[in-house]
Amino acid sequence: MIKMNQLIFKKVAIVLLFSIFYSCATDKDYLVTIKTEYGDMHAILYDETPKHKDNFIKLAQEGFYDSTLFHRVMKEFMVQGGDPNSKGIAPGARLGNGGPGYNVPAEFNKKYYHEKGALAAARQPDQVNPERESSGSQFYIVQGKVWTEEELTVDMQALGRACQQMLQQPRFDSLRNVLINIYQTEGPEAYGEKLVSLKDMVEKEMQVNVTKDMSPERLKTYTTIGGAPHLDDEYTVFGKVIDGLEVVDKIADNKVDRANRPLEDVIVTMSVEELPKKKITKLYGYEYPAEEK
């Protein structure tokens, strides 16, 4: 009986020690610092995308990203970097095809989307990359823009097609002329707003549904903070800039050439530091989600 109790005690002790060790291990996280002449950005990487997290940390610790450029910059969209061929490259040279020689399997997660500050992996198009594998090193940080609720909940392409079919009917000749006039005199944006105002009529006349579903969380984020919702579920989001979003805005303001490369090089230096999660929260205000039990 005593031996049995001793055995049970040992098992309990092992479980307890493992529990304590595991708890301590999850109390820390990696903080990535992306340094540029415009200032520093601090980012965390998601545990739910472990392949991307481990790969990015490894490359950053090895100095892979040091002296690379943000080689592709598109205002109100994103800033892209991570091409090793950009180190010391001549002005005007085309970039975007470099990498470490491997891809990273896609790790899509519905929890993470392209809000402003999202850190995501670049990749080749579906035609040559049907599995949507990520580049081994190239990444982008979302700037995006703030959207209206209508822009996010209406499938504008479907609405446009349905409206075009509706306007082929003679009884809508006057409406067709109104739309043509708006497009020619006020431009595409005003034309789109008019289309949205016709949504209920078009759906009723053509017996179609042009409404897009979006979670309340995403809808709130995109209509307040902003982002690039058209990229959702197409590219792996594996982290988030939690401090220094103004740096993204400054980089995005750069004048670029026809390939969207900044005319003045934006050079990157990167470092990784393991810190207690509580310290990251205290320093940068990022609240870690509660761990599921």
Per-residue pLDDT tens digits for 194-226: 998 999 999 999 999 999 889 999 999 999 999
Strands 78-81 and 134-135: unpaired
Q: What is the pTM of this model?
A: 0.82
- Which homologous superfamily is 27-147+214-284 in? Cyclophilin-like (2.40.100.10)
pLDDT at site 201: 95
Q: Which of 5-14, 108-117, 266-275 has the lowest mean pLDDT?
A: 5-14
pLDDT at site 20: 41
Residue-range domain boundaries for the chain: 27-147+214-284, 155-206
Whether 139 has a pLDDT exceeding 70, the answer reads yes
Whether 265 has a pLDDT exceeding 60, the answer reads yes
Give 289 or 260, the one with higher predicted confidence: 260
- Cβ contact 265:69 at 8 Å: yes
Q: What is the mean pLDDT of residues 59-78?
A: 97
Whether 144 has a pLDDT exceeding 60, the answer reads yes
Whether 149 has a pLDDT exceeding 70, the answer reads yes
